[in-house]
Amino acid sequence: MMEAGGSRRNSIELVGVKTGTAMPAEMREALHLRGLVPAGIEDFGKQEMRAFKQLMSKTSNLEKYEFMATLRCMSVNLFFRLVLNHFKEVAPIIYTPTVGEACLNYSYIYPFIHPSKTSVGLFITLRDTECIDTVIENYRNTMAQQIDPEIAVITDGSRILGLGDLGVNGMGIPVGKLQLYVAIAGLNPARCLPIVLDFGTNTQKYLDDPLYLGTRERRPDDETFYAAAGTVLGALFREFPGMLVQFEDFSTDHAFGLLDRWRNKAMCFNDDIQGTGCVILGGFISAVEQAGIPARDQRILFVGAGSAGVGVAKQLVDYLVIEHGIPEDEARAMFWFVDSRGMITANRGDRLAEHKVYFARHDNGDTQCATLEDTVEYVRPTALIGMSTIYKAFSEPILARMDEMNPTARPIIFPLSNPETKAECTFEEAMRCTGNRVLFASGTAFPDYTVPETGEVKVPGQGNNMYVFPAIGLGSVLCKPERITDTMVFAVAKALAGSLSEQERARGELYPRIERIREVSAGLAAAFITQAVREGLAKETHWIEIVESGMSGGEPDGAASIGKYARRVLGEVKRLMWAPTASVEQYIVEAAATENPDDI
């Protein structure tokens, strides 16, 4: 096994380097390392402890992010063991909120070391789209063993979180999302492809910044954008048939435009529209169940009327119609919106953007509310949903009013803007101002809150799409639906609400504890696959058989039985999820079998 010479020897050396302090004695001998490395021979657990200690010793979150990014280049295996085994601490570093800070600084912290092959993503400029086949060929040549990617997360950096147009710096988002795909959904890291469409930026600061890494020009017009994006997507779907594309953080119009153009043609979804909608719906279902008033008595005030907010509200309407039998007109009348000009009404005097018309109020008579405060007094909401990216828009007086106005029902307050610097309020504020009664979900991660009087620790719900996109993606990658339908996404939202444990429910939580996210995601993926099979859209016949074997027992039809069918699928989903290798011996066997140990 240890003979030297040629690429075999190189491969063994690489394995040796990758195992680091875990390198077995005979490998050290064979590689002539006697005297060159410390004596201690460790297992992976020890390495993980040391890495975690080093990580935690960094004082700023950005330093922690950089540490993780470097670790990822050095050992995929160690990186993911750290993420998986310390998810609660590490997720906010590699993902939101720190990833936002990392994107803002992307051009400054870009590493000097060459990234490991698996972390290579695609940076595609407008010029590159003219020779897209070469770009894909180049990517292929970097891939070990020529395995095709099974998922791409793609952005053009034009609307990164709530931070705006960051251009190429937005690459941190597809990278971070895919790291969560591996940790949460067990996708193989070697088969994940982050892509940024570097078509320029309209942010002058970057155009003027000598260290900006992207294309130094303004963004193209719509026609050029759609043609160029179409060239890239067409090539990706052609070259990697069966690959899932997740659209991420495109400016709102393009997000909807791309989704409309591709959703019926290929396996794709938009995380900010469908993923965010799904996770909010899941949390909302749980909140409505716990609020203490009938669903149809909810009065829901949305703050921020971008198309994402409106899209989310429409999903809530569908839910109220389908699950609570409320007629659509009545369900729609349970919603109010506030934008920068105040409450959205049909007679406000301005021309409403197309997407706002559906929810514009017609029953306000002469009343117009110019501010959120006025609208709250007028609507007397039971639920306040923030998608405004306005920091502290839910001021303490507004939160206190939500408490006073809802003496019997528990107020629902969802500050969903992201990252923390854009959040409408914090968990601590919402708890304090509502006598700890709030049913809370935020877009960013907030710390736990200890109730001063009782010492009870309250855990904030994180209505972040990380609860669902990994499951939608995993489900898609496994059963390969011809397309991803709203009803498949709806099945995931319902399964998410259904995934709360007895204790979580008793504590008034709206989402399962983050530590359980991998297990929960497997269940959600199973619900997705089951629904895809039921809709006749799953192309992997393997799943059709498994789902049908579960259905053949004569169980009742209908959405409520999805969970039951899904359980039969769950075992198979779990079996197929990737996990980092825990034993050094196994790792060496795997690494020796691959051309490129960087990938494991």
Ligand X SMILES: O=C([O-])CC(=O)C(=O)O
Numbered residues of the known binding site: 159, 248-249, 272, 418, 464
Q: Which of 150, 165, 198, 272 binds ligand X (CB under 6 A)?
A: 272
Q: What is the DSSP string of 377-397?
A: HHH--SEEEE-S--TT-S-HH
Kindly write down the DSSP assignment for every residue of 125-171, as one continuous string. EHHHHTTHHHHHHHHHHHSGGGPPPSEEEEE-SSSBTTTB--GGGGG
Q: How far is the CB of 469 from ligand X (least distance, A)?
A: 8
Shortest Cβ 96–Mg ion spacing (Å): 9
Tell the smallest beta-carbon distance from residue 346 to Mg ion (Å).
Answer: 31
User: Which one among 47, 75, 77, 96 touches ligand X, defined by CB under 6 A?
Assistant: 96
Q: What are phi and psi of 343, to 5 degrees?
A: -65, 135
Residue 464 binding target from ligand X, Mg ion, none, CB below 5 to 8 Å by type = ligand X
Cα Rg of the chain (Å, integer): 25
Q: Which is nearer to Mg ion, 119 or 276 (CB)?
A: 276
Smallest gap, in angstroms, from Cβ of residue 141 to ligand X?
A: 31
Are the C-beta atoms of 189 and 145 separated by less than 8 Å?
no
Does 271 participate in binding ligand X (rule CB under 6 A)? yes
Distance in angstroms (rounded) separating the CA atoms of residues 24 and 43: 10
**Contact characters 393-432, ligand X, x per CB under 6 A:** -------------------------x--------------
Distance CA 227, CA 292 (A): 51
Using rule CB under 6 A, residue 161 touches ligand X: yes
Angle formed at CA 237 by CA 231 and CA 238, multiple of 5 degrees = 85
Q: Which residues contact 47 (CB under 8 A, 6 or more apart)?
A: 20, 21, 22, 78
Q: Which is nearer to ligand X, 465 or 485 (CB)?
A: 465
* Annotation: binding site for (S)-malate: 159, 418, 464
Instruction: Tell which residue, 218, 217, 274, has the closest CA to residue 244.
Output: 274
Residue of 465, 485, 530, 531 interacting with ligand X (CB under 6 A): 465
Q: Quick one: what does residue 420 bind among Mg ion, ligand X, none, with the CB cut-off 5 to 8 Å set by partner type?
A: none
539 noted as active-site residue? no
Burial status of residue 314 (CB atoms within 10 A of its CB: 0-12, 13-18, 19 or more): middle
Tell me the closest approach of the beta carbon of residue 373 to ligand X, in angstroms.
26
Q: Other CB atoms closer than 10 Å to residue 395's CB: what's the count?
A: 15
Q: Which of residues 228-257 bind ligand X (CB under 6 A)?
A: 249
What count of other Cβ atoms lies within 10 Å of the Cβ of residue 504? 18
* 246 DSSP 8-state letter: E
Helix (H, G, I), strand (E, B) or coil at 221: coil
For ligand X, how many residues bind (rule: CB under 6 A)? Answer: 9
Strands in 251-368 per DSSP E: 268-270, 300-303, 335-339, 342-343
Comparing CB distances to Mg ion, the nearer of 83 and 279 is: 279
Residues, the chain: 600
Partner in contact with 418, chosen from ligand X, Mg ion, none, beta carbon below 5 to 8 Å by kind: ligand X
For ligand X, which is the closer residue by CB, 174 or 508?
Answer: 174
Q: Which is nearer to ligand X, 368 or 421 (CB)?
A: 421
Pairing of strands 449-450, 457-458: antiparallel
Distance CA 144, CA 56 (A): 33
96: partner contacted, choices ligand X, Mg ion, none (Cβ within 5-8 A by kind): ligand X
**192 beta partners:** 151
- 233 φ, ψ (degrees, to nearest 5): -65, -40
- Minimum separation from the CB atom of position 81 to ligand X (A): 23
Of 160 and 182, which has the nearer Cβ to Mg ion?
160
Work out what residue 598 binds among Mg ion, ligand X, none; the CB cut-off runs from 5 to 8 Å by kind.
none
Per-residue binding string, ligand X, 432-461, x by CB under 6 A, is -----------x------------------
- Residue 95: active-site member: yes
At residue 87, the 3 state secondary structure works out as: helix
Cα 152 from Cα 159, distance rounded (Å): 18
Instruction: Give the interface with Mg ion as residue ranges (CB under 5 A).
Output: 248-249, 272
Among candidate residues 18, 64, 177, 494, the one labeled active-site is 177
- Annotated active-site residue in 65, 95, 106, 206: 95
388 binds, among Mg ion, ligand X, none (CB under 5 to 8 A by kind): none
| Minimum distance from residue 303 beta carbon to ligand X (Å) | 16
**Shortest CB 272 distance to ligand X, Å:** 5
Question: Of 255 and 569, which has the nearer Cβ to ligand X?
Answer: 255
* 188 binding partner (options ligand X, Mg ion, none; Cβ < 5 to 8 Å by kind): none
C-alpha 565: how far from its chain's center? Answer: 26
Binding-site residue set for a divalent metal cation: 248-249, 272
Select from 169, 406, 434, 464 the one that contacts ligand X (CB under 6 A).
464
Residue 98 sits in the site that holds ligand X (CB under 6 A): no
If the CB atoms of residues 19 and 418 are measured against ligand X, the closer one turns out to be 418
Element (H or E) spanning 597, and its range? none
Residues involved in catalysis: 95, 177
Binding residues for ligand X, per CB under 6 A?
96, 161, 249, 271-272, 418, 443, 464-465
